[in-house]
Amino acid sequence: MAGVVRYHRLGRRKYRERMYAECAKPLAQYTTEELYDRFRFGRDDIKYIADLVRPKLQHKTKRSHALSVEEQCLIALRFYASGTFYQVVGDNMGVDKSTVSNVVKAVSVELASLVNEFVSFPKDDQMVQTKQSFFLLGNMPNTIGVIDFTHVHIQVPHERECQYVNRKGRHSINVQLVANADLIITNCVVKWPGSVHDARILRESALYRKLQSNQPNGIILGGRAYPLLPWLMTPFPVANTPEQAGFNSAHCKTRCANERLNGVLKRRFACLNYLRVEPKVACNIILACIVLHNIATRRNVPLDDIYDGPEPDEVQPEQPTMFAPNEGQTGRVIRDAIVRHYF
């Protein structure tokens, strides 16, 4: 609850009186429409989220005016949904700017700590359903995921500023996302500055090490920025046959899942369009939104008009030579076999 200090004079002495602004309305007082519009979640969803972070955010004391866990969640969700200034969020929620900043940081840290619980690669017993969903989406066989990146723009950092400048000259975090056909994020990497190439982020990821040492029973689809690997299929640079054209068409249709995911993420959580925070805080906010996205998708939280189409494709530069040549050769053999058998 925002504290407002007023000064009064009694004779020659000045004394302080702390006044308290009206705090955010209790959760029960919002209508369903207000909840979805302002916070992107329904009442039961917000209670579920509050219970997830309650162990760390519950105040140990019952001191006067302490924010409840539900109130903290509402403040953070309002910021994620609107992406506006802390001061504006505070004015809307009845708290001061510093309170919004502290609450957003605290809630984001706790939600980010749950990423391994809510973001996981398909297990063996989930592979069949995952492949079927992708095949229905774009007629691409044996697909278990699509990989892509998205840049989350941030304010100019105080340290290592030049490393965060991306190809478009803006400061950003380069985020790697792997998703399934239902827009569930199954793997993410959220730590690299915007200047780092997508292929390097993949090469240094735990996912790459895992799939290189234990090749999965399926393939992941990636765009031109990624290397052609035994488990990572990229489109033909030039389709020289009708079969190769068919492969590229199916590849494009199926990969649209991740392009659509990027659009949904940034429309549902408008803060991801521009974060006015330092990189470390930005990464926690991004991870929090990823966790919340998967919660919303699994709980069938309606999108309404949040999404209206994929983000426009970015032109990708050639991927740097940081992968062994034999990896690309094996990838070409597998891609050719897919074309022969299915297209």
Tens digits of per-residue pLDDT, 316-331? 444 444 555 555 688 9
52 pLDDT more than 90 = yes
pLDDT, position 58: 86
Hey, how many other C-beta atoms are within 10 angstroms of the C-beta on 280?
11
Q: What value does the mean pLDDT take over residues 189-216?
A: 94
244 pLDDT more than 80 = yes
130 pLDDT more than 60 = yes
Q: Give the closest residue to 255 by CA, choosing from 177, 173, 172.
A: 177
pLDDT, position 329: 86
pLDDT tens digit sequence for 80-127: 999 999 999 999 999 999 999 999 999 999 999 999 999 999 998 899
Are 148 and 177 a contacting pair, CB within 8 Å?
yes
Interacting residues of 331 by C-beta distance below 8 A, sequence separation 6+: 227, 228, 229, 230, 232, 233, 234
Q: Give the closest residue to 245 by CA, choosing from 235, 254, 259, 255.
A: 235
| pTM of the predicted structure, to 2 decimals | 0.87
CA atoms of 147 and 312, how far apart (whole Å): 16
Are 232 and 333 a contacting pair, CB within 8 Å?
no
Interacting residues of 107 by C-beta distance below 8 A, sequence separation 6+: 53, 57, 72, 73, 75, 76, 288
37 pLDDT more than 70 = yes
| For the chain, percent of residues with pLDDT exceeding 90 | 73
CA 309, 312, 317: angle at the middle one, nearest 5?
Answer: 150
Hey, how many other C-beta atoms are within 10 angstroms of the C-beta on 119?
19
Q: Give the closest residue to 110 by CA, choosing from 73, 84, 82.
A: 73
Q: Give the closest residue to 174 by CA, choosing from 160, 159, 155, 188.
A: 188
pLDDT, position 259: 80
**pLDDT band, very low/low/confident/very high, at 153 (cuts 50, 70, 90):** very high
Q: What value does the mean pLDDT take over residues 247-263?
A: 90
